[in-house]
Structure 1
């Protein structure tokens, strides 16, 4: 079955574990905790990781790539270090980060046996495929095993670019998550796992990106698609 990640984004730390538990009840494959949404950054992430039975992605997204962290880059890096030391399954790091800082965080993640997702976002348009392929290869050269490429769909055919990227896994040895944002990008959000994307994202009640659809709706579409596939090939 297609893997689905559900993001959890809250402002108040005291409600974070409660919100994660609500997400756990819906049994997604992965939960992404958007740390950048939190108003208070004095949090014991180790406790959150230990109490969550579903694999976690800890993300401290910077503003330039759709994040909400408002305490400066130095504090953001320190928060990422705390996230890594809590030993979640994944931590999300932007490819656009300072080279020396990114290398240090990648090394720290490796020391703590934390898998890294190197991410690239384009919120205004979908770049040409060759540009996005270059981003995938850049991530592979840095030693990461997973790269996330998300662009904004300004036209329906932009989805074809996103859906074609997972095939680069064969050439680069790195797993790819790729789809388009925006209302026109819903097609790739829904079907990217069938084209080789490691997983896709769906929301519970709060969307963290344009075009994100509800988990229940995503599952219904996937179930229908699997049913149609079985009828056709059986």
Structure 2
């Protein structure tokens, strides 16, 4: 039996990989304007990339925007993510400010899941995980390598360490420089899927890695990121192209 994590109305880790769509607006008006076309496209989950949001470092502004977005999304599950500059995000924050922003998300009581980057101070990461779980918020712990694809054993080790830190779902994104790199990511996904007690999300980025965004059900990745409008990472596929491809590759 594969591990399953329930997030609002989703079961992550079973069946077809679920589809997430990012919102990357800089202003509240841009964020809310993105909701209607996204809801019309019917993704499974929305990822709010708050590193794009101009008001992200002001707790009151962030929480007010989060509550308005939550209301606009209705029953759609919401993942909130501050992606730091070093992992492909839009904004540089000190570690202390990064953890303050994440804590402000949790105390705002608007999100279903929170992305926590693995490679910050370990004690602070574990404390934030505990705070998220106390608020009944799912933790997707992540690591992104925009330069290369680590060895298979290293990818598995990073995913394993995330689960050891309390992640409900472990996420790893890598950049391929060759077809062999894509195969490395897929092999690591399959190995981690068999060895870990929690679901995983993996992807090989860019055009070379697009196949990894389609093959999650076969290799073990429970969520794929698609676009309705602006992309938030290289290689993301339009939702209206990704959904039929995932259905075509569905296992019987």
Normalised to the residue count of structure 1, the TM-score between the two structures is 0.90
Which residue number corresponds to residue 170 of structure 1? 194
- Which whole-Å CA distance do the structure 1 matches of 2:190 and 2:70 have between them? 29
Structure 1 174/121 Cα, relative in aligned 2: closer, same or farther at 3 Å? same
Which residue number corresponds to residue 96 of structure 1? 119
1:201 aligns to 2:225 (yes or no): yes
Secondary structure of the corresponding residue to residue 69 of structure 1: coil
Normalised to the residue count of structure 2, the TM-score between the two structures is 0.84
**2:163 aligns with one of 125, 136, 140:** 140
Which residue number corresponds to residue 63 of structure 1? 85
- Which whole-Å CA distance do the structure 1 matches of 2:79 and 2:213 have between them? 18
5 Å matches for 1:219-230?
Answer: 219-226=243-250
**2:134 aligns with one of 111, 121, 127:** 111
Secondary structure of the corresponding residue to residue 183 of structure 1: coil
Superposition deviation, residue 9 in structure 1: 0.7
**Corresponding pairs, count:** 228
Q: Deviations over 1:151-202 (max 9, x none)?
A: 0011112222222314423322021101100111111112123322111111
Q: Deviations over 1:2-61 (max 9, x none)?
A: 311111111112221221232122110111010001112222223322442210110011
- Which whole-Å CA distance do the structure 2 matches of 1:163 and 1:216 have between them? 24
1:3, 1:200 within 8 Å by CA — same for their partners in 2?
A: yes
Which residue number corresponds to residue 5 of structure 2? none
2:215, 2:249 within 8 Å by CA — same for their partners in 1?
A: no
Per mean C-alpha deviation after superposition, the further-off stretch among 73-82 and 127-136 is 73-82
Structure 1 177/12 Cα, relative in aligned 2: closer, same or farther at 3 Å? same
1:27 aligns to 2:73 (yes or no): no
Superposition deviation, residue 87 in structure 1: 4.3
1:193, 1:200 within 8 Å by CA — same for their partners in 2?
A: no
Superposed CA RMSD in Å reads 1.8
- Which whole-Å CA distance do the structure 2 matches of 1:220 and 1:172 have between them? 29
Which of 1 and 2 has higher RCO (CA within 8 Å, sep 6+)?
2
Q: What runs of 5+ residues in structure 1 fail to find an aligned partner? A: none
Superposition deviation, residue 69 in structure 1: 2.3
- Which whole-Å CA distance do the structure 1 matches of 2:93 and 2:246 have between them? 39
